[in-house]
Structure 1
Amino acid sequence: MEIEDATLALSALGQSTRLSVFRLLVEAGPEGVPAGGIAGALSLPGATLSFHLKELSAAGLVEGEQRGRSIRYRARFETMNALIEFLTRNCCGGDTSRCAPREKSC
């Protein structure tokens, strides 16, 4: 990932509704969620959700697949992982043990 793509992705995620949609899709995994399920889970009107999905899609963060009369959306994990890699590429001068995410304790 290059800086232009990272800027586009971060800009898309920099809006609270889009971040909520993306997190919901990440949690759902590769199966994704139908548009109606996203709208219901986040209490969003269809037109509002469409606008935000269009922005996330343009940034390469989500993709939709037509299934019958509905569209199922899923996170594009390869883009998410590329963004994380871009953000941490030269972390701590290459000593990734100093800046790797810490494990949560339950």
Structure 2
Amino acid sequence: MQLEEVAKALKELGHPTRLFIFKHLVKAGEQGLPVGELQKQLVIPASTLSHHIAALVSVGLVKQNRESRTLLCVSQYAVLEEIIAFFRDECCVNSPEHRQDQRQELPS
């Protein structure tokens, strides 16, 4: 995942309501949650919830599926894992300990 993509995703997660939504979707698992259930938990107008969900969908963190008359929101774990990997792969690469570990791995 590129820097710009990670920045956009983190920007959308930077809003408390969106973070609440995403956290609950992650906890719900792969089956997701109906929009109505999210609205009950948040107690906000449907139009406001729709705006926040659209922001999460726009950066790929959430996908929406319609099952009959129910609109489900599902967190996209692969995208979340890419964001985590973005930081994990860069973690401590400039630290003296990391450079020492890299030198020890080189063949003599």
The equivalent of 1:8 in structure 2 is 8
The answer for the alignment partner of 1:102 in structure 2 is none
Counterpart of 1:56 in structure 2 is 56
Number of residue pairs the alignment of both structures matches: 96
Which structure 1 residue ranges, 4+ long, deviate > 6 Å from structure 2? none
Q: CA RMSD in A?
A: 1.5
Residue 30 (structure 2) pairs with residue 25 (structure 1): no
**TM-score, structure 1 normalization:** 0.85
Deviation at 1:66, TM superposition (A): 0.6
Give per-residue Cα distances to partners, 1:52-96, cap 9 Å, x unaligned: 000000010000001111210010000000000012212122879
Structure 1's unaligned 5+ residue stretches are 97-106
Q: Secondary structure at the match of 1:64?
A: strand
Q: Which amino acid aligns with 2:32?
A: G
Q: Counterpart in 2 of 1:47?
A: 47
Sequence identity, in percent?
A: 33
Structure 2 unaligned segments of length 5 or more: list them.
99-108
